[in-house]
Structure 1
Amino acid sequence: MVGIWGPGGIGKTTIAKAVFNSIRHKFETSCFLADVGSNSNGRAQLQERLLHDVLRDSNLKVSSVDQGVSFIKERMQDKKVLLILDNVSHSSQLNNLVPSPDCFGPGSRILITTRDKRWLIAHEVNEVYEVKMLDDHHALELFSLHAFKRNEPPSDYLELAQHVIRYAQGLPLALIVLGSHLFRRSTEEWEATIGSCKGGPQADIQEVLKLSYDALGRDLKELFLDIACFFKGEYAARVKPILEACYDHKTMVIGIAQLQEKALIRIDKDDRIWLHDLIEEMGKDIVYQESPDEPGERSRLWSGKDVDHVLTNNTGTNKVIGIQVPWLLSTISMNAKSFSEMRNLRYISMGGPSFSGDIDYLSNQLRWLDWHNCPLQCFPSDFQANKLVELNIISCKIRQLWEGRKHLWVAQSKES
């Protein structure tokens, strides 16, 4: 058994099909079960399809999953089979279709494609092949085949094609979708497509990538959106305590491991958290779509323009759970009511800008408050810091904290 693992759109199914077509003649019988994870016909029907293809008995009927498992165990042991299980999304699918390694005859080969490495490990596959992003040379070749029906772009399109390559970052799906969209289009249409970030072919790419997100549980979705919106490129050692404060230790540790297994994030050799730009873009678009017209109705704010709008105009709501201000922002003018409706706010990171004004409310749900150049001299009188685990208020004007519990790490400058 060999697993083929990687994110959506990277070409797992294409590789499996190529292998299947090139070696199937070496086997007594073969079966390609497409899109196992989203098959609407049910598990028993998948088992029946497998049995029909391998045994060549169209009269055989499978009335239940348990019966199908028994048939597979009893009737395939003398068959040298090539079996492809495409897009597996849960261990039960593997257990029902390959209940044990010795179900099939000697010399059999089973290829499993999945977005989630965990299922491969749990099923004890022999090898896991991680599909890598294409390098620039091969990316340009794949893109050109779809955009120009040749191996390289014409000279007058080369610079535009290189822009697309940088955008796609080696993801085959992006290269194919964009190449097909741009085929026989003018340079003006190319420039408009490259300059656009919403709709069109990009929407098709995001729809495929979003399949991995949709399969996550609630806590994993929240964890992924936090990382996509706030923590790409950050050191994992810095991010993990923040996520643990906002969730819990078990959710954080298991969640990060599962997001890596699902190829949505990776932690590099320098301990930094990374996402493919298109996966990051997908996560941010999910949050944007929560309220396209009013950022104060979204769960997370990371754009300087949106943060300034919300804090200046008091448009924040109880839907906002995290705010991160970019260092490039210069000034934000707050007022007493800037945070008054954000009652579920749990994470604030105010980095570079200087702030003016004062506030009379902070959420009692706050876990993490990292605020440089904080303009406050004291915290709101009704602020309860029972859930706060870190307060970093370097270069601030704070003279007095709050009444009650203060079991947390407090970092202050000598001037504060």
Structure 2
Amino acid sequence: MGGTGKTTISKAIYNEIGSEFEGRSFLLNIREFWESHTNQVSLQQQVLCDVYKTATFKIRDIESGKNILKERLSQSRVLLVLDDVNALDQLMALFGSRKWFGPGSRIIITTRDKNLLELCGVDEVYTVEGMDESESLELFSWHAFKQPSPTKAFAAHSADVIAYSGRLPLALQVLGCYLSKCEITEWQKVLEKLRCIPHDEVHKKLKVSFDGLKDVTEKQIFLDIACFFIGVDRYDVIQILNGCGFFADSGMKVLEERSLVTVDSRNKLRMHDLLRDMGRQIIFEESPFDPENRSRLWRHEEVFDILSKDKGTGAVKGLTLEFPIQNTVCLNTKAFKKMNKLRLLQLSRVQLNGDFKYLSGDLRWLYLHGLKFPSSYAPAEFQQRSLVVL
């Protein structure tokens, strides 16, 4: 399952032994990237760029990328970490066989599917064991009290949090960060909530920390990141969400302090997939059977159905739709006419036809990839004074 520490352990190993290799690369959250992006060759490019410290590699498609990886990596002693793999085609694209790598290379794979490891013939399988009570207490205490054990006044409450959290590292981290600045009365409220949640319902346990965000704008920032901004530059996201009136400088700091959002070495926003799924479940529950009445839309089939049938509503505040490189779909701008509260819009390889005046005047972020503006529509109708990023 997720949240048990597989990525954390692999990062620690990577940092510990990485300098012993001629080149190294850590591909984070492969499952998430594979499901949400059509440009999978960029992962192959990242491996080469990381290993050889250059951005000059250009790969046309997955198959040619396999040949390039095999040709180049076989000449070097490489450390490669493939994090959160969930499909064989991902492994075949990034780690075809041992022959791809030079002598002495090491490949570490993290996955929730043990069968995948057996299919690619790994040498060893390490199963992450659950933490015992003392380990759980120490992890929680470091986040809640900045020391390895709880203060005397909170000892009993800390033990209860550990018991009800299922000793899941991610939950202990998130709850510890949330409770670190809370009075004893707030601890008691959190414990009451945790007591009512079954052990296997991890999302609900994590939602306790989301519910504890005091400011509504902090919640909006979290939900926008969960749906649209994972992997996007932190500075750019702050600029966009400041434009939405969310005071994102301070809000982002709160989310980072509570471990709801992290920032990687490239200044890109990251979020554990369990936290991402928890946020997206909140959006789903706004209108389980009518997606057009949800505030954020990211599922490809639902978004295309809504736009192609002009089913948009004023409830929609953010939307993304992406098609593969080989496909370009035409839609009419009238599909956005009823979405008068739309703040965030990302379209990739979608050709828009019609009058651009139908796009919401509330737009703050407009990302159009692979779209050519019709010269007869773009100028006058597209004067979006409120846009922060185009």
TM-score by length of 2: 0.50
Query: Which structure has greater helix proportion?
Result: 2
TM-score by length of 1: 0.47
Q: Report the structure number with the largest CA radius of gyration.
A: 1
